């Protein structure tokens, strides 16, 4: 019979280090997209602000009832133009799409493969010993 694996005991400093490391990773992944978005947002905001000048309800394509609701919400045409002209860009970059698919699929494949190897160790210890 094979002896069960006996893990080492982790000291308090090691526990603190591991906890902090996970937190650093989380904050880094929260902040990282901002590097991409900052320039893009500034560019879009400038374009939207330029378009908002001299806007009318008609030029914004708002019918009478839509106009009435905007006014009830406290918006004039210039203020509403910022929201109305702000739009998503759904142009697909094929290379980015391929990279994303490879990353997501690769992540799950890696995880399932490594997990399966670890699971076999767990089952072997549980049922063989």
- DSSP tag of 127: I
Rounded CA-CA distance 75/26 in Å is: 38
From 16, 45, 46, 49, residue interacting with other proteins (rule: CB under 8 A): 16
User: Rule CB under 8 A: is residue 30 a binding residue for other proteins?
Assistant: yes
Please say whether the beta carbons of 46 and 79 come within 8 A.
Answer: no
User: Rule CB under 8 A: is residue 39 a binding residue for other proteins?
Assistant: no
Q: How far is the CB of 76 from other proteins (least distance, A)?
A: 13
User: Rule CB under 8 A: is residue 10 a binding residue for other proteins?
Assistant: yes
Interface map 67-86 toward other proteins (x if CB under 8 A)? --xx-xx-x----x--xx-x
User: Rule CB under 8 A: is residue 45 a binding residue for other proteins?
Assistant: no
Cα radius of gyration rounded to whole Å, the chain: 27
Rounded CA-CA distance 2/125 in Å is: 8
């Amino acid at each position: 019979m094979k002896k069960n694996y006996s893990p080492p005991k982790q000291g308090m400093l090691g526990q603190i280090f591991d906890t902090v490391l996970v937190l650093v990773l989380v904050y880094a992944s929260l902040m990282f997209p901002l590097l991409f978005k900052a320039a893009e947002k500034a560019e879009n905001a400038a374009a939207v602000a330029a378009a908002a000048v001299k806007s009318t309800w008609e030029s914004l394509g708002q019918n009478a009832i839509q106009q009435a609701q905007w006014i009830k919400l406290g918006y004039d045409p210039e203020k509403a133009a910022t929201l109305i002209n702000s739009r998503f860009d759904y142009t697909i970059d094929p290379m980015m799409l391929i990279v994303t698919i490879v990353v997501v699929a690769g992540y799950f494949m890696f995880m399932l493969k490594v997990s399966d190897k670890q699971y076999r160790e767990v089952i072997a210890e549980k049922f063989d010993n």
